[in-house]
Structure formats: C-alpha cells, structure tokens
Amino acid sequence: MKKIIQTFLPIIILSSQVFAIAGFGLNLNKSMYSVAESTSSLKVAGVEVATITQHAFDNGLGIGGYLYIDAIPMVDLDIEGSLIISPYKFSFNNAALTSIDKQQFGWVDASGYITLQKKLLKLSIPFLAKAKLTAGAGVNSHSSTPMVDQNMMEAVMGGADNLESGTLDTDELIKFLNENKVSSKGFHIQTGVQFKLLMLDSFLFYRHVIADDVIPGAKGFGSLNLRLGMGF
C-alpha cells in the first residue's frame, strides 16, 4: 500500500497543478424567464365556442451533461446537452360546460450548446486547487413542446367542430406534442469560473441565450449553471 501511495501521489499532485485537457460531467441549471397569463377565444366559422387560459409561469429547472476539450490552442471547446422543465396550468371552458380549471401541464425544452471559451484569469492554491475565469460564445439549438392553443385543442377534441361540445383525448394529446415540437436556433454568451481539485472539476457560470420561439413571447433568456464532473 505504501508503494502504491508513493507511486500515485506525485501523479495526483501534478494533476492538481494543471487544468485537464478534457472532461465531462453533470450540468444543473436554473433558467430565468417569465411568461404572462393570457386568455384567448377559440372560434369556429368566426363564432366563439370556447375560451382557453394559459396561466402565468416563470423560471425552469434543467439537467444535462457536458464534454469539454482544452487541447485546442487559444480556446476551449465545450459541448452540452440539457433538458429544461417548467410546469404551468391552463383552463378551458366551452358552451357544453366542459370545464378544465387550472389543469397542471408542462413546458419542456431540449437544448444543445456548442461554445468556444477563452481563459481570462487564472488563480491557484499550491498543491491543492486551481481556478480560472472564462468567457465564451457559441451556437445553440432547441426543440420544445408547444403551448396549449386552439390547434392543440382541436387535435385533442376530435376537430374544430367538437370544440363546443367535445371531450379531451389524452392519446391525441401525446401524439400532438410529439408531432408539433417547436424548433429554434440561436447563439449565446457566457462567463463564469472553473474550479479544479485533483481530478474533480466544477463550474459555475451565467449564460444568456438569444433565440426566438424558445420562451413564448420572448427573444431569449438567462440561466445560472452549476457543473460537477471529472477532468483528465
């Protein structure tokens, strides 16, 4: 055991003095946005037959994974995939008194990010840990579930003629969500700090995303991200 410690201790100490050339791990985030409540009329042949309300919701929690490569001169390459979930409620009323009051629903966004990062500042605690301040920019793509609207209600109630007196079909709802994902592309900027303790890596950074149609009624959103992983 003593020989094993003597063999690997210098390697561990050395690894704590340099940043890894590659790493991977878990990404957790809290996205920051706000969607206001809205009520709209559902019409057939210009006649109102029902109303639907999307109740306000804000912020979302996300989870994903990341991979970075620090072997490229001048910049680091960072790749991330994440899933954001934000529950919200909707209400529905029609002439046949089919009433849904604040039914729990959910908005989900699957995102991919490719980022080039550059080191701005480097700090160290000898033989223990290192930290660096980074900033970066990149491109992102998104695929999110549609919000509840007339098109969705027509699909899940068997057509426009049934908006006034029909009932919900959950199988059709699942089918509609799968076939009507909202796709969007954009770009982002981010800045934060990377900490390294031996082979353990952690990141804390803020990212601002600029992309249409990801958050309903908004052209972008911010997020605070925490990463826990391994560097090699």
- Which one has a higher pLDDT value, 50 or 168? 50
Distances (CA, A) of 215 to 86, 93, 109: 11, 25, 9
Q: How far apart are CA 186 and CA 150, in angstroms?
A: 27
Q: What does the pLDDT read at residue 52?
A: 83
Give this prediction's pTM. 0.81
Q: Where are the alpha helices (H) located in the chain, listed in sequence order?
A: 2-16, 150-156, 170-179
Residue 54 contacts by C-beta under 8 Å, 6 or more apart in sequence?
35, 37, 38, 39, 88, 90, 147, 148
Using DSSP, state whether 122 is helix, strand or coil: strand
Q: What does the pLDDT read at residue 198?
A: 74
Q: What does the pLDDT read at residue 134?
A: 93
The pLDDT tens digits of the residues spanning 53-111 come to: 888 888 999 999 999 988 777 888 999 999 999 998 888 877 665 667 888 888 899 99
Q: What does the pLDDT read at residue 53?
A: 85
- Residue 200 in tokens: 């353990």
Q: What does the pLDDT read at residue 51?
A: 82
Residue 25 contacts by C-beta under 8 Å, 6 or more apart in sequence?
65, 66, 201, 227, 228, 229, 230
The pLDDT tens digits of the residues spanning 15-49 come to: 444 456 888 999 999 999 998 888 888 777 777 77
Q: What does the pLDDT read at residue 17?
A: 42
Q: How far apart are CA 104 and CA 31, in angstroms?
A: 20
Using DSSP, state whether 8 is helix, strand or coil: helix
The sign one gets for the Cα dihedral 23, 196, 132, 222 is positive
Q: Which domains does the chain have, with CATH numbers?
A: 2-231 (2.40.160.20)
Mean per-residue pLDDT of the chain: 82
175 pLDDT band, cuts 50/70/90, is: confident
Number of Cβ within a 10 Å radius of residue 149: 15
- Residue 128 in tokens: 């223990």
Mean pLDDT of 162-187: 78
Q: Pick from 90, 26, 91: which is nearest to 225 by CA?
A: 26
168 pLDDT band, cuts 50/70/90, is: low
Mean pLDDT of 161-183: 75
